[in-house]
Amino acid sequence: MNSGVDKDHNLATADRLVRAAVDAGAELVLLPEKWNLLGPTDELVAAAETIEGPSVEAARAWAHDLGIHLVAGSFLEKVADSDLPYNTSLLIGPSGSVLASYRKIHMFDVEVGGVKYRESDSSRAGSRVVVAEGPAGLPIGMAVCYDLRFPEIFRLEAERGARLFTLPAAFTATTGRDHWEVLLRARAIENQAFVLAAGQIGPAPPHFESYGRSMVIDPWGTVLATAPDAETVVVADIDPTAVDRIRASLPSLANRRPIAYK
């Protein structure tokens, strides 16, 4: 997606793309980070919604009406006890129920390509790693964008049973060119799990330029599908038994020696 500050337009686009994914056979659909609105700090905070708000309501309706599991990218979740919202990713089941909620742990406070980013000005950091049950009981580890640079999250999720990771993102064009695929494949290889990564693409105010290249990667680190440089849908078949085969033949997770890592 190429989301901007027009929330109605973003929801209409997401509706069209989710339906296109399902038409192509998708049973698990992932939207990008801040799919419902991406823009300046003040507009992000002003547009934050509770979990009962219109964006989540739309996502729940898509999952229910289409009979799919939907990871509703991330949105800014308004909470009663804070002036700042969380950057929250939701797993929604075919019944339309919210099955799991993950609040982004790592805030993107950096300077890259001559641009300063201060996510902590618009979002509050979460503190809990989340693994939830997806289609056919598949354990899903949840993360968001900048979390990709912190392998601890993915290893903890793998230890808690995750066999597939979801990563909604708005990765910058500057870092994406050099780091996006490398880091996604690394998280897949070192944890021997599938990675689904959905990225924003293109410009958004005030200075965002997102890399795109949404990907599906298998537990061997092979890229099964990559989105072109356009707003679109990318679909791949995954075989969950591949996780068992790879972990059995190359048992790096079982060969870990945590006593030596303290």
Residues carrying an active site annotation: 33, 104, 145
CA 88 – CA 74 distance, rounded (Å): 5
Q: What pLDDT score does 211 carry?
A: 98
Q: What pLDDT score does 102 carry?
A: 98
Non-local (6+) Cβ contacts of 237 within 8 A are 224
Q: What pLDDT score does 172 carry?
A: 97
Domain boundaries, the chain: 7-256
Contact by Cβ (8 Å): 53, 100: no
Q: State the average pLDDT over residues 197-224.
A: 96
Q: Are strands 139-142 and 164-169 parallel, antiparallel or unpaired?
A: parallel
Non-local (6+) Cβ contacts of 100 within 8 A are 90, 91, 130, 132, 140, 142
pTM above 0.85, yes or no: yes
Examine residue 228 and say whether the peptide bond preceding it is cis (omega within 30 degrees of 0): no
Residue 113 has pLDDT above 90, yes or no: no
Overall CATH class of domain 7-256:
alpha beta
Q: How confident is the model at residue 161 (pLDDT cuts 50, 70, 90)?
A: very high
Q: What pLDDT score does 237 carry?
A: 97
Q: How confident is the model at residue 7 (pLDDT cuts 50, 70, 90)?
A: very high
The pLDDT tens digits for 50-94 are 999 999 999 999 999 999 999 999 999 999 988 999 999 999 999
Residue 262 has pLDDT above 90, yes or no: no
The pLDDT tens digits for 220-247 are 999 999 999 999 999 999 999 999 999 9
C-alpha torsion sign, points 208, 125, 7, 42? negative
Concatenated DSSP letters for 8-61?
A: HHHHHHHHHHHHHHHHTT-SEEE--TTTT----HHHHHHT-B-TTSHHHHHHHH
Residue 207 has pLDDT above 90, yes or no: no
The pLDDT tens digits for 29-44 are 999 999 999 999 999 9
The pLDDT tens digits for 120-160 are 999 999 999 999 999 999 999 999 999 999 999 999 999 99
The single-letter code of the amino acid at 108 is F
Contact by Cβ (8 Å): 77, 48: yes
Point out which residues pair with 88 in neighbouring strands. Answer: 75, 103
Burial 109-147, CB ≥16 within 10 A → b, else e: eeeeeeeebebeebbbebeebbbbebeeebbbbbbbbbb
Radius of gyration (Cα) for the chain, nearest Å? 17
CA 76 – CA 63 distance, rounded (Å): 20
DSSP one-letter code for 65: H
**Average pLDDT value for the chain:** 97
192 Ramachandran zone, left/alpha/beta (phi>0; psi -120 to 50): left
